[in-house]
Amino acid sequence: MFSAALLSPPWVSAERVWELYEAEVPVHGQSAQARADGIRSAFASVIVKVSGDRGLLNHPEIHGVLKKASAYIQQYRYKTLETSNPEAAPDSPDRLLWVRFDERAVNRLLRQSGVPVWGGTRPSILVWLGQEQGARRDLLSLERERRLRHYLNRVGESRGLSFLWPLMDIEDRNAIRVSDLWGGFEENIRRASARYQPDVILVGRMTRQGSRSWRGEWLLYLPDKVNRWQTSAEGKVALASEGLNQAVDALALRFAPQQVTQGETDIRIRVHGLTRLADFVLVKEYLQSLAMIEQLDLLSADTEKVNFKVRIHGSREALERGIQLGSVLEPVESLDYAAAVENKNPEVVVGESLVYRLR
């Protein structure tokens, strides 16, 4: 079945992030010291994006990791930073330093340091925001709230995620009301969100309490549960930024492989429903895109199914959550598989843990 030359058609995952291992930081001049400082700053940004842990830079052991930044560079270049402030200090940043680091080397370094590596396949996040000022409640349109959108997009860039913003067109306004957000009416919120096909939905209810005081209530709708938390800040931008940051914190805990200390594990994966060469290519490339999969080997294939052996970093549960994101595979509880286990069929039983079907 798979003897023909493999073509590589595009496939769609939940959210494929391509710029995790690069960063752009402001610097002053091109001296060796300025460059070294900029490279360490860029490396710190990359570590936060790759790990999903924004508190990681506070750990004392990470300081040693940052000192090794220059050893992991693939490319760097400068870009002139236009400055229009005549009162700027002489040592103010006058250019941007763009740095790209070696993906495999960075992943290896972080794993050796006990830091989880959150791969490029990440959940898509749809964000509904509402605000309350006095007696008035409104659904926010980020097309109109340009300043807020700018800062929230920067949050996404710093964490290695992009957010989906509702169009707030006639279809959205007919599908959802501000009362749905404040009431936490999950069925209505999920129904209104379906057109965007997100993996998770974030709802923010932001209430102004004074001239410089805001309170936020947040709901993160995951496939199987809802997370809730509160934030407070002096302004709406700071409030929304912290709400989105905490949402990414929760997603990293759920989807990044946390049990890095347990080393590598071999798991077998069987995938049913492959009827074309393109199906095999789709599944193979999707599994290879998951950062926690260190090695993927084809064990067997026929006209309907394929068996892989994968070597992973982290737990089986983390692998299952990662596979769930891609909208490529769905788990199956196969009666044939259960019977094979009962009959001790070696083709199926030995080492095989996960069974899926192509969506």
Q: Dihedral angle at the C-alpha atoms of 184, 185, 187, 191, nearest 10 degrees? A: -80
Query: By C-alpha distance, which of 201, 192, 206 is closest to 237?
Result: 206
Whether residue 154 is found in the same domain as residue 237: yes
The full DSSP string for 191-212 is: HHHGGG--SEEEEEEEEEEETT
Whether residue 334 is found in the same domain as residue 215: no
> Is 10 inside a domain boundary?
no
Each residue of 48-73: pLDDT tens digit?
Answer: 999 999 999 988 888 888 999 999 99
Residues 6+ apart with CB under 8 A from 358: 271, 272, 273, 274, 279, 282, 283, 328, 329
Whether residue 243 is found in the same domain as residue 264: no
Range of lowest pLDDT (48-57, 123-132, 262-271): 262-271
Residues 6+ apart with CB under 8 A from 243: 202, 204, 206, 216, 218, 231
Whether residue 248 is found in the same domain as residue 264: no
Whether residue 176 is found in the same domain as residue 215: yes
Burial class of residue 227, CB neighbours in 10 A (0-12, 13-18, 19+) = middle
Residues 6+ apart with CB under 8 A from 7: 277, 278, 281
Please state, in angstroms and rounded to a whole number, the distance separating the CA atoms of residues 239 and 233.
5
Each residue of 182-241: pLDDT tens digit?
Answer: 999 999 999 999 999 999 999 999 999 988 899 999 999 998 899 999 999 999 999 999
What is the pLDDT, as a whole number, of residue 8? 31
Whether residue 142 is found in the same domain as residue 244: yes
Q: Express the helix, strand and coil content of the chain in percent, nearest 5 each.
A: 40, 30, 35
Whether residue 233 is found in the same domain as residue 136: yes
> Is 140 inside a domain boundary?
yes
> Is 8 inside a domain boundary?
no
Out of 112, 144, 175, pick the residue that ends a domain. Answer: 112
Neighbours of 55 (CB within 10 A): 9
DSSP state of 80: E
Confidence of residue 263 (pLDDT cuts 50, 70, 90): low
Whether residue 236 is found in the same domain as residue 171: yes
What is the pLDDT, as a whole number, of residue 259? 52
> Is 243 inside a domain boundary?
yes
Q: At residue 348, what are phi and psi to the nearest 5 degrees?
A: -105, -40
Amino acid at 22: E
Dig out the tokens for 153 from the structure.
């997009």
> Is 119 inside a domain boundary?
no
Whether residue 318 is found in the same domain as residue 233: no
Each residue of 3-17: pLDDT tens digit?
Answer: 333 333 333 335 678
Instruction: Tell me, yes or no, if the pTM score tops 0.95.
Output: no
Whether residue 247 is found in the same domain as residue 265: no
Report how many domains make up the chain: 3
Please check the confidence at residue 332 and state whether its pLDDT lies above 80.
yes
> Is 130 inside a domain boundary?
yes
Whether residue 209 is found in the same domain as residue 134: yes
Each residue of 287-316: pLDDT tens digit?
Answer: 988 877 888 999 998 888 899 999 887 778
Dig out the tokens for 57 from the structure.
């830079």
Dig out the tokens for 299 from the structure.
């064990």
Out of 62, 85, 112, pick the residue that ends a domain. Answer: 112
Out of 199, 223, 255, pick the residue that ends a domain. Answer: 255
Dig out the tokens for 274 from the structure.
């492959």
> Is 54 inside a domain boundary?
yes
C-alpha gyration radius of the chain: 23
What is the pLDDT, as a whole number, of residue 349? 40
Domain that holds residue 107: 22-112
Each residue of 79-103: pLDDT tens digit?
Answer: 988 765 666 677 789 999 999 999 9
CA dist list (Å): 51 to 29, 31, 70, 252 = 30, 30, 19, 8
> Is 28 inside a domain boundary?
yes
Alpha helices per DSSP H over the chain: 32-51, 60-66, 103-112, 146-159, 170-175, 178-183, 186-193, 236-255, 277-288, 316-325, 335-343, 346-349
343 alpha-carbon distance from chain centroid: 41
Each residue of 235-260: pLDDT tens digit?
Answer: 999 999 999 999 999 999 888 776 55
CATH code of 190's domain: 3.40.50
Dig out the tokens for 87 from the structure.
């009162």
Confidence of residue 346 (pLDDT cuts 50, 70, 90): very low
Whether residue 239 is found in the same domain as residue 303: no
Which helix (H) or strand (E) is 301 found in, with range?
A: strand 293-301
Each residue of 108-127: pLDDT tens digit?
Answer: 898 888 888 888 888 999 99
119 alpha-carbon distance from chain centroid: 7
Share above pLDDT 70 across residues of the chain, in percent, rounded to a whole number:
86
Amino acid at 257: P
